[in-house]
Amino acid sequence: MGLKFLALRSPKSFKDAAVDPIQDYLTSPLNWSLEFNRLEIEIIELWHDCNVSMAHRSYFFLLFRGDQKDCLYMEVELRRLKYIRETFTNNTKTIENGRTLTSMSSLRALNRERYKLSQLMQKKLSKEERENLFLRWGIGLNTKHRRLQLAHRLWSENKDMEHVRESASVVGKLMGFVDMDLASKEMYGLNFSIKPRPKKSSLWKRSVLSLSTL
């Protein structure tokens, strides 16, 4: 599973989305804790609206926990997501790894990811761990398709921060990055480039940490 790099639409976008905000946050009297919470809530809502990979959501949520220098990544992620939502709203197309990305295609990918996560529960968790998870998430042990039920409940309530934390924890455990070294922020690189389209427009490549088997 590899990390995907972020790409902004132009050098000016890079300056607006990254350089200016980090300077502002580091030099202004702004209460960064409150600002971080605001940005995080907005990002979580946009993840939901854009059908972003749960692996990406969980990795990002677990990695960036409020250090003031996180503003760089928070601002870039926020602007990236707003751009994707805009393309979905306008029924226009964007490109991800050479593939056309639409609201429907991202939803299909998210559903495939849920199925893959349900398979990982069988491989990565003991029977006791699975049963404890089912009970914690309100899934009866005598019901059918328990793993799929759980997979479809993960990241389903974007306004409940406790639910978000629990979802990130479960996905993180299944994907193997719950106990990651926070120095991995340095690996979360930014690659600024321009990708032209035939109509002289340029696009972002989404930064999506996705299941390599999808």
Torsion angle of C-alpha atoms 143, 147, 152, 156, degrees rounded to 10: 100
| pLDDT given at position 178 | 60
| pLDDT given at position 25 | 56
- Give, for all 214 residues of the chain, the pLDDT tens digit: 443 433 333 333 334 444 455 555 555 546 888 899 999 999 999 999 999 999 999 999 999 988 888 888 999 999 999 999 999 999 887 877 677 889 999 999 999 999 999 999 999 999 999 999 999 999 999 999 999 999 999 999 999 999 999 999 999 999 987 655 544 565 554 433 323 333 332 322 333 333 433 4
| pLDDT given at position 200 | 31
Q: Where are the domains of the chain?
A: 11-112+175-187
What tokens does 161 get? 């921060």
Compute the distance between CA of residue 104 and CA of residue 164 in angstroms, rounded to an integer: 23
What tokens does 146 get? 């328990």
CA quadruple 211, 64, 163, 158: dihedral positive or negative?
negative
The number of C-alpha atoms within 13 Å of 16 and in the hemisphere containing its C-beta is 9
| pLDDT given at position 2 | 40
Compute the distance between CA of residue 162 and CA of residue 20 in angstroms, rounded to an integer: 32
